[in-house]
């Protein structure tokens, strides 16, 4: 696997001068990964004139071969990130991490519904401000009768601290409920039990 330090392909300067065959194959200007001006309508973003090194004496560059549709392409594809969030399993008994898919939404019988985030997680967050002195539990993506959900959540939250009252805020417009304090675990557990 030892290979000499790879400086750059030899044919860059060949394109800059004139077309010249290297290793029997005619190099067409259709290999934009090396050259900055491309056949695309927009210029390549990540290679730039300033960042690419100056062409040096041709002898310094090693001989190369261009392999199209190489067998190693599957390894390249594995490295590219999935564009959108992958779809999680739909119907599953129990998973080791405790993650459960959301139940189906029934607009006729559900009083309220808490939608999952883009990453398919329950939208309960802990917001900390004032250098950690203030902790607020935030529930987002609430559809339907948000006031009824707040009432139900309040019961759960107060039960977790022996009936002590805590402040809450409902924003019907944005579908958010906030509780003053750290009740993330309690709220998450309740929402997961309800199937959200």
Measured from the CB of residue 163, what is the shortest distance to other proteins in angstroms? 28
Q: Is 18 helix (H, G, I), strand (E, B) or coil?
A: coil
Name the residue nearer to other proteins (CB basis): 73 or 169: 73
Interface stretch with other proteins, choices 60-68, 150-158, 159-167, 177-185 (CB under 8 A): 60-68
Interface stretch with other proteins, choices 69-77, 122-130, 150-158, 185-193 (CB under 8 A): 69-77
Interface stretch with other proteins, choices 6-14, 132-140, 160-168, 187-195 (CB under 8 A): 6-14
Name the residue nearer to other proteins (CB basis): 90 or 165: 90
Residues in the chain: 196
Measured from the CB of residue 192, what is the shortest distance to other proteins in angstroms? 13
Torsion sign (Cα): 26, 32, 37, 39: positive
Name the residue nearer to other proteins (CB basis): 112 or 166: 112
How far CA 176 is from CA of 74, 109, 169, 170, 172, in Å, comes to 44, 21, 8, 6, 7
Token readout for 135 is 């902790």
Measured from the CB of residue 8, what is the shortest distance to other proteins in angstroms? 7
Q: Is 176 helix (H, G, I), strand (E, B) or coil?
A: strand
102/120 Cα distance (integer angstroms) = 8
82 makes contact with other proteins (CB under 8 A): yes
Using CB under 8 A as the binding rule, the residues of this chain from 28 to 57 that contact other proteins are: 30-35, 38, 40, 44-47, 51-52
Measured from the CB of residue 184, what is the shortest distance to other proteins in angstroms? 15
15 makes contact with other proteins (CB under 8 A): no
Measured from the CB of residue 182, what is the shortest distance to other proteins in angstroms? 18
15/39 Cα distance (integer angstroms) = 14
Q: Who's near 109: CB < 8 A, 6+ residues apart?
A: none
Residue recorded with tokens 């590219």: 80
Site string for other proteins, 90-129 (x = CB under 8 A): -----xxxxx----xx-xxxxxxx-x--xxx---------
Residue recorded with tokens 């883009």: 118
**Residue 14: is it exposed, middle or buried by C-beta count within 10 angstroms (0-12/13-18/19+)?**
middle
């Amino acid at each position: 696997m030892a290979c000499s330090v790879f400086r750059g392909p030899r044919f860059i300067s060949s394109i800059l001068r004139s077309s010249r065959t290297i290793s029997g194959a005619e190099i067409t200007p259709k290999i934009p990964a090396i050259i900055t001006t491309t056949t695309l309508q927009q210029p390549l973003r990540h290679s730039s004139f300033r960042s690419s090194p100056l062409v040096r004496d041709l002898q310094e560059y090693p001989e190369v071969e261009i392999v199209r549709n190489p067998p190693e392409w599957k390894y390249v594809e594995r490295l590219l990130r999935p564009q959108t969030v992958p779809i999680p399993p739909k119907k599953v008994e129990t998973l080791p991490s405790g993650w459960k898919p959301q139940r189906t939404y029934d607009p006729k019988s559900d009083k309220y519904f808490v939608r999952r985030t883009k990453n398919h997680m329950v939208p309960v967050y802990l917001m900390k401000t004032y250098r950690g002195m203030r902790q607020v539990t935030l529930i987002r993506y609430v559809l339907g009768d948000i006031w009824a959900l707040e009432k139900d959540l309040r019961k759960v939250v107060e039960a977790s601290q022996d009936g002590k009252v805590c402040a809450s805020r409902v924003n019907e417009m944005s579908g958010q409920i906030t509780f003053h304090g750290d009740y993330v675990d309690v709220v998450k557990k309740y929402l997961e039990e309800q199937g959200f």
